Amino acid sequence: MIFSLSHFSYLNVSTTTQALDEWTALARAAERNIPMLFLGPRAFGVNKTPGTPPAEGNAAVWHYQEQMAGIAMKKYLDVLSLYNLTAQATSPDGEHFGERVALVEAMMVINWLSKLETS
């Protein structure tokens, strides 16, 4: 199971934690060892329009990611942060980083999948 939320979740820790609880409960109810990965949010790019939510910009994203990483690890999820990958990346609108970043993200997830035990 791969769990990720976009910036449009408004970086709400309590809402994300509730959603995480629901999905992990479903995974555990299957009575199987289901690997779970939490993908942290991307940073806002340098071209993000100032004043768009959240007003704190990347500071809010970083704070949210740090809080959620700790919560996810306590719930036995693996955590992969995308913040550092995108903090210096340029994009036309500050949110869509293009094929190169998407390819690296996909490679990171594939690397995580390749480390899982096969059944």
pLDDT-derived band of residue 4, with 50, 70 and 90 as boundaries? confident
Q: Is the residue at 43 inside a domain?
A: yes
Q: Is the residue at 119 inside a domain?
A: no
pLDDT-derived band of residue 10, with 50, 70 and 90 as boundaries? confident
Alpha-carbon dihedral 70, 72, 76, 79, rounded to 10 degrees: -90
Higher local confidence (pLDDT), 59 or 111:
111
Q: Retrieve residue 118's tokens.
A: 């096969």
pLDDT attached to residue 32: 81
CB 62 within 8 A of CB 83: yes
Q: How many distinct structural domains can be found in the chain?
A: 1
Q: Is the residue at 85 inside a domain?
A: yes
pTM of the model: 0.82
Q: Could you tell me which of 24, 49, 96, 32 has the C-alpha nearest to residue 16?
A: 24
Give the structural domain span for 29. 2-114
In this predicted model, what pLDDT tens digit does every residue of 85-109 receive, in sequence order? 888 777 766 677 788 888 999 999 9
Higher local confidence (pLDDT), 14 or 10:
14
Q: Is the residue at 16 inside a domain?
A: yes
Q: Is the residue at 98 inside a domain?
A: yes
* Type of residue found at 69: A
Looking only at the bridges linking them, the beta strands covering 78-80 and 2-4 are: unpaired
